[in-house]
Amino acid sequence: MSALPPTVDDSPIWDIWLSQFRLPIINVNCEVGTFAALSDGAYSTDDLAQELGVDSRALAMHLAALCAMGMVEKRLGQWRATHLARTWLHPEGEGYWGHFCKQIDNNTLLQERLLESLRTGKRPGSAGEGSGDVTERPAEWERGTMSAEAAQGIATFMHAHSQAPALGAAAQPVFGTLGSLMDVGCGSGVYGIEIARANPGLKVVLMDLKEMATEAQKFVDRAGMGAQVTTAGVNMFTEEWRRGHHGHFFSNVFHDWSDETNRLLAKKSFDALPSGGRIFLNEILMDDEGTGPFPAAAFSLLMLVGTLGKQYSLPEFRDILESAGFTQVSAERTGGGYYSLVSAVKP
């Protein structure tokens, strides 16, 4: 077999798939008038949203991506178009690229979904059964149940996406200090499996909706990790969590949900942990200013069109975690692609 074992850095692959957002972001912002407005004046996000008649939360995600692409900049909380965008993306400019970009972009489905969500602030309606659009899939778990076929699809999809960052997370020494860990919303279980493999003294429970826990069990069996890793079918919102774990690990879970829902999840974790227990959030973080970086901003737009969430910054997570009672909030890049591990302690 010529396939190589995975390493922790797969960021070039992430760059390839996230690059599909670049042109639609430009086109959607030409359409709503972002570049014209920001060439003529400086605006806060809320004022610009009002001027353009779009949703402020969605606009903030677009501005972060545009900033990372060098099209806008933020100074003292006010956005402006850069010289580049004023020259080439102003609709009245001699060199307006907008007409070209609009015609060359074949990703009309993504463009339409980005435009609709920017205008309404809401996830666009389903693209239709069997369209193959992966952004339809998360809606499955929002019902609190899913078919075995959907669970299998999501598990394999998430496994590919999470293998490298799971190795990065597993290398973090903090897991060696714990006796037991619950991987909440585990998907294929790749994180819990790799963290357990790297820490032979650690017991891990993979927790997800029961259909997904069944899938995760297959990954545990395939990895030969059954002595250390078990699975539990639990609805994290409606059912009790097993107590006694020293840590709760959430990867790519908070980014699926609103600020309000995340506060409930953080509180549920806080209540189930012992004093001294830790919560971990493994996520691609926005920078503190909401100005990028591009992978986080583009991933956030995927969350906007496909889930109820977004990519959060560390200050936003700190606020959510502290509101539940956690202290000592910190974050570190794990080396697993673009991911960071946020951690906090129950006093």
Does 212 contact ligand SAM by CB under 6 A?
A: yes
Interface characters, 256-285, with ligand SAM (x: CB under 6 A): x-----------------------------
Single residue of 55, 194, 208, 316 touching ligand SAM by CB under 6 A: 208
Q: How far apart are CA 110 and CA 76, in angstroms?
A: 32
Q: How far apart are CA 261 and CA 308, in angstroms?
A: 10
| Cβ atoms of 187 and 249 closer than 8 Å | no
**Distance, CA of 134 to chain centre:** 14
Nearer to ligand SAM, 111 or 162 (CB): 162
H or E element in which residue 182 lies: strand 180-184
Interface characters, 85-124, with ligand SAM (x: CB under 6 A): ----------------------------------------
Length of the chain: 347
Q: Which of 312, 222, 221 is nearest to 265 (CA)?
A: 312
Q: Which of 222, 210, 195, 209 is nearest to 253 (CA)?
A: 209
Single residue of 37, 38, 209, 342 touching ligand SAM by CB under 6 A: 209
Which range binds ligand SAM by CB under 6 A, 13-21, 205-213, 294-302, 329-337?
205-213
Q: How far is the CB of 161 from ligand SAM (least distance, A)?
A: 6
Helix-, strand-, coil-residue percentages of the chain, each rounded to 5: 50, 15, 35
Q: Which of 205, 347, 184 is nearest to 276 (CA)?
A: 347
Name the amino acid, one letter, at 210.
K
Nearer to ligand SAM, 52 or 265 (CB): 265
Single residue of 29, 39, 251, 334 touching ligand SAM by CB under 6 A: 251
Reduced to 3 states, what is the DSSP secondary structure of residue 210?
A: helix
Reduced to 3 states, what is the DSSP secondary structure of residue 62?
A: helix
**Distance, CA of 156 to chain centre:** 17
- The site for ligand SAM, by CB under 6 A, has a size of 20
Q: How far is the CB of 63 from ligand SAM (least distance, A)?
A: 25
Which range binds ligand SAM by CB under 6 A, 63-71, 109-117, 250-258, 326-334?
250-258
Single residue of 141, 241, 299, 317 touching ligand SAM by CB under 6 A: 141
Nearer to ligand SAM, 43 or 299 (CB): 299
Sheet holding 203-208, edge to edge: 229-233, 203-208, 180-184, 247-251, 278-283, 340-345, 327-333
Give 106: exposed, middle or buried? Use CB within 10 Å, 0-12, 13-18, 19+.
exposed
Name the amino acid, one letter, at 133.
D
Interface characters, 36-75, with ligand SAM (x: CB under 6 A): ----------------------------------------
Which range binds ligand SAM by CB under 6 A, 13-21, 86-94, 193-201, 232-240?
232-240
Nearer to ligand SAM, 55 or 208 (CB): 208
Does 252 contact ligand SAM by CB under 6 A?
A: yes
* 344 C-beta neighbours (distance < 10 Å), count: 25
Residue 207, both tokens: 């927790």
Nearer to ligand SAM, 291 or 334 (CB): 334
Does 215 contact ligand SAM by CB under 6 A?
A: no
Nearer to ligand SAM, 49 or 154 (CB): 154
Minimal CB distance residue for ligand SAM: 187
Which range binds ligand SAM by CB under 6 A, 90-98, 101-109, 233-241, 338-346?
233-241
Sorted by sequence, the CB contacts under 8 Å of residue 323 that are 6+ apart come out as: 263, 266, 267
Question: Where along the sequence are the contacts to ligand SAM (CB under 6 A)?
Answer: 141, 144, 154, 158, 162, 185-187, 190-191, 208-209, 212, 235-237, 251-253, 256
